[in-house]
């Protein structure tokens, strides 16, 4: 059976098959739109409050939201922004996210290759990158975790059947630290 996409893989795995997938250039040159995991991002206006954005991020278990003005991505507000830019300061939650966001973030399109996305995210140190159309309107959010999940599908036995703890990790301590 030829496995060309995630649906083929799902059918094969449900039938009890073990995929013989090869992670190669052809696979990495596929477009981001082939990934199963591009997310529909939450988007806020630049004047939305930090607490509003953080509450939504916590409720939906998201690491970032887009900042959109006039229908176009003008920023991204992430958990890293919250930590790096001093949101622990009293009263910061009432301030607008424009004060804490990363303005004019790098963006990708769903047509960009998976390899290009991995490169851009790795070089830039990004965990989240907006996906936009030609007019910079948001169409999704790519998360590094999604790229890792995709790569792991090529090595299911090696990556998913590992023991819960590293054999090289130091012994666990009890909850009191001793």
Place of tokens 């036995």: 157
The residue behind tokens 């047509």 is 111
Give the confidence band of 141 by pLDDT, cuts at 50, 70, 90. Answer: very high
Residue 34 confidence (pLDDT): 86
Contact predicate 43/65, CB 8 Å: yes
Task: Tell me what pLDDT residue 156 has.
Answer: 64
Q: Cα–Cα distance between 55 and 60 in angstroms, integer? A: 9
Segment 65-87, tens digit of pLDDT? 999 999 999 999 999 988 887 66
53 near 65, Cβ under 8 Å? yes
Alpha helical stretches, state H, the chain:
6-14, 25-28, 50-59, 79-84, 114-124, 144-152, 156-160
Structural domains of the chain, with CATH: 6-158 (3.10.580.10)
Averaging pLDDT over each range in 36-45, 136-145, 151-160, 168-177, which range is the top one?
Answer: 136-145
Q: What's the whole-model pTM score?
A: 0.75
Residue 14 predicted with pLDDT over 60:
yes
């Amino acid at each position: 059976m030829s496995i060309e996409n995630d649906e083929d893989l799902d059918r094969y795995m449900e039938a009890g098959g073990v995929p013989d997938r090869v992670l190669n250039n052809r696979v990495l040159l596929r477009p981001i739109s082939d990934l199963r995991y591009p997310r529909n991002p939450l988007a806020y206006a630049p004047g939305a409050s930090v607490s509003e954005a953080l509450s939504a991020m916590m409720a939906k278990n998201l690491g970032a939201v887009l900042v959109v003005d006039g229908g176009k991505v003008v920023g991204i507000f992430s958990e890293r922004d919250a930590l790096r830019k001093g949101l622990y300061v009293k009263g910061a939650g009432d301030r607008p996210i424009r004060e804490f966001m990363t303005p004019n973030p790098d963006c990708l399109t769903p047509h960009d290759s998976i390899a290009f996305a991995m490169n851009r995210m790795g070089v830039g140190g990004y965990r989240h990158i907006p996906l936009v159309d030609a007019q910079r309107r948001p169409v999704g959010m790519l998360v590094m975790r999604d790229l890792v999940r995709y790569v792991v599908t090529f090595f299911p036995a090696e990556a998913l059947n590992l023991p819960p703890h590293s054999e090289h990790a130091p012994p666990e301590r009890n909850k009191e630290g001793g």
